[in-house]
Structure 1
Amino acid sequence: MSTLSRRQVVGALSGAAAGLALAGAATAATAATDAPGPKKAGGHEHPAGPAPFDEVFEGRRIQGLPARGSRAAHAHHGSGYRVLIDGRELHLMHRTDGTWTSAVNHYETFRTPYEAARTAVTSLQGADLVPLPTA
C-alpha cells in the first residue's frame, strides 16, 4: 500500500479546486448568455427587450413595460424599459453584462427586470417607493 505525501495531496486538491473554479466560470458565462432579455446580434440589441409583466406580488402591483417617448432615451440608462411598483417608477439600470440592478437593491444583480421588481417589493417590506430626484 502506497502512502501519499502532503505535497501530492495538496497538488491534487489544488488541481481539483482550479477545475471547479473554471467549471463555475463557464457555467456563469453560459447563464449570462442564456438569460432572458435583449439579445445582441452583431453588436446591436434585439429590439424585443424583456417581456412585459403585470401582476400582484405580496399585495403590491408590479408592472414591467417598454418605455415610450422622450423618457425612453433617458430613463434606465437607455434600457428602454420601465418597472412600476403600485404605479411608482422603480429606477432600473441595465448593466453591460446583460443583468439588471435597481435603486432599491443596488448591490445585487438580476437576470430580468421582473426579478428586480419582485426583490424590490420584498426589500421595501410594505414601505412606499420614493422616486429618485431628477436633475
Structure 2
Amino acid sequence: MYASPDAAPFTRRAFLRTAFTAAVLAGTAAAVAPVLRARRPRQTLTPAPLSEETYRGRHIAVDPVSASVRIDGRPLHVMRRADGSYLSGINHFESYGTPMELARAAVDELGTTQLALAAPHHG
C-alpha cells in the first residue's frame, strides 16, 4: 500500500499538537490548583469579638476585622485612608486613628439624632 508524502507529517503534527495541548493543560492545572486551594474559606474556631461600649448613652459596636461601626445598631459608613486612619460620612474632613475614636466623634456630632438606615441597593 502506498502512503502519500503528506500522511506522515500530518500524523506527527497531530501527535505533537495533542502532546503539547496535554502538557499545557497539565501545567495550567498545576498552576491553578494552589490558587483554588487558597480561595477556600478558612475556618476560625471563634469569631473575633466586637469592641462594644456605651458612650454618651449610645451603644457603639466596632468589628475589628472589617472596621465596620454600628451606633445603636445602625451602620456608620467608615472609610480607611491610605495613611491608616479612618473617616466617616458624618465628618469627612477629620480622620481618626481607630474606628472606635471615629465612632465616639460621630456620636458627639450626632447628638440625639439617629443615624439613617442604609437604603437597600438595587442592582
The runs of 4+ residues in structure 1 deviating greater than 4 Å are: none
CA distance in 1, matches of 2:117, 2:89: 10
Task: Please give the TM-score of this superposition, normalised by the length of structure 1.
Answer: 0.50
RMSD: 1.8
Identity between Structure 1 and Structure 2 (%): 40
Check 1:106–1:132 CA distance in 2 against 1; reply closer, same or farther (3 A cut). Answer: farther
CA distance in 2, matches of 1:131, 1:91: 11
| Structure with higher RCO (Cα < 8 A, 6+ apart) | 1
Task: Please give the TM-score of this superposition, normalised by the length of structure 2.
Answer: 0.54
Q: Unaligned stretches of 5+ in structure 2?
A: 1-48
CA distance in 1, matches of 2:107, 2:91: 10
Write the letter of the residue equivalent to 1:104: I
CA distance in 1, matches of 2:74, 2:116: 8
Write the letter of the residue equivalent to 1:60: R
Decide which of 51, 60, 63 is 1:62's aligned counterpart.
60
CA distance in 2, matches of 1:105, 1:90: 11
Check 1:98–1:134 CA distance in 2 against 1; reply closer, same or farther (3 A cut). Answer: farther
Report 1:1-135 matches (<5 A): 52-66=50-64, 80-133=66-119, 135=121
Q: 1:118: Cα distance to partner?
A: 0.1
Q: Unaligned stretches of 5+ in structure 1?
A: 1-50, 68-79
Secondary structure of the 2:79 match is strand
CA distance in 2, matches of 1:60, 1:102: 17
Larger Rg: 2
CA distance in 2, matches of 1:132, 1:106: 18
